Homo-oligomer: A and B are copies of this chain.
Amino acid sequence: MPAIRQARDRLLAAAVELESRHGVAGTTVAELLKVSGVARRSLYMHFANGRDDVVTEATAVAGQAFLSDLRSAASALCPARALDAIVERVRVRLVETDFDSSCPVLAAGLGGQTVPGARVSAGQTFLAARQQLAGDLEGNGVPAAQAASIAGLILASVEGAQAIGVATRSTDFLDDVRTQLSALLLTSTQTTATNRTPE
């Protein structure tokens, strides 16, 4: 009863969840309070600027989680298998939420005109992810020039397929992306015989 667990964390978790499902605009204070079970006043204790602060910080949190997932997949597996793992995670999430949930970072980027901080944070996440992914590809023998644009393609197509999956209520596009990118990664990384080491 005496809510020992941080109201702040519950608010951020709720915000990430709501952004995924209903976008930034659908992440209202009322919903935030309902989902997190936190009192109205507590929100303004932890986030001086109210809703915008929650959304912005939640976007940063989701972005860090995204980068972390990417890193752990890349460090444990070869690029083609890492991609598989990431796509599979997205696929499961789509299906389990009955195609109602897409990427919170993408949602923050799109809905970010109303919450500029969230848009900036989302952009930074995508740029960091691209760089990280490109580095991993280079480590697997992909030429630097190619690595960057392949990384961009991977991120764009996975995010796009996820969003289109919500619209079509299917995983078709995600499956397409996996099929084609797997093939691309296999041919691109063929040059290296051995697997590489994480940092």
Interface residues of A (CB under 8 A from B): 21-23, 25-26, 100, 102, 105-114, 119, 122-123, 126-127, 130, 148-153, 155-161, 163-164, 166-169, 172-177, 179-181, 183-184, 186, 197-199
- A21 to B157: give the CA distance in the assembly, Å: 21
Provide the residues of chain B in CB contact with A149, threshold 8 Å. Answer: 175-176, 179-180
B167, A109: Cβ atoms closer than 8 Å: yes
Report chain B residues within 8 Å CB of A113. 21-22, 26, 100
In the bound complex, CA of A174 to CA of B174 (Å) = 19
Pairs across A and B, CB under 8 Å, 22 listed: A23-B25, A25-B111, A26-B111, A102-B110, A108-B167, A109-B164, A119-B167, A127-B168, A127-B172, A130-B172, A130-B173, A149-B179, A152-B161, A152-B175, A152-B177, A153-B176, A156-B156, A156-B164, A157-B177, A163-B163, A179-B199, A186-B198
Please, which residues of chain B bring their CB within 8 A of the CB of A122? Answer: 167
- If A22-B113, A152-B161, A155-B164 are given as contacts, then 15 extra A-B residue pairs at C-beta distance below 8 Å, sorted by A number, are A23-B111, A25-B26, A25-B111, A26-B114, A102-B110, A106-B167, A109-B166, A110-B166, A126-B167, A126-B168, A150-B180, A153-B176, A156-B158, A156-B160, A163-B163
Closest Cβ neighbor of A150 among chain B residues = B180
Q: Which residues of B contact A106 (CB under 8 A)?
A: 160, 163-164, 167
Among B109, B168, B199, contact of A123 (Cβ-Cβ < 8 Å): B168
Return the contact of A157 from the options B22, B153, B197 (Cβ within 8 A): B153
Q: Which residue of B lies closest to A114 (CB)?
A: B26
* Chain B residues positioned under 8 Å from A161 (CB to CB): 152, 156, 160
Complex contacts, A184 vs chain B, CB 8 Å: 180, 184
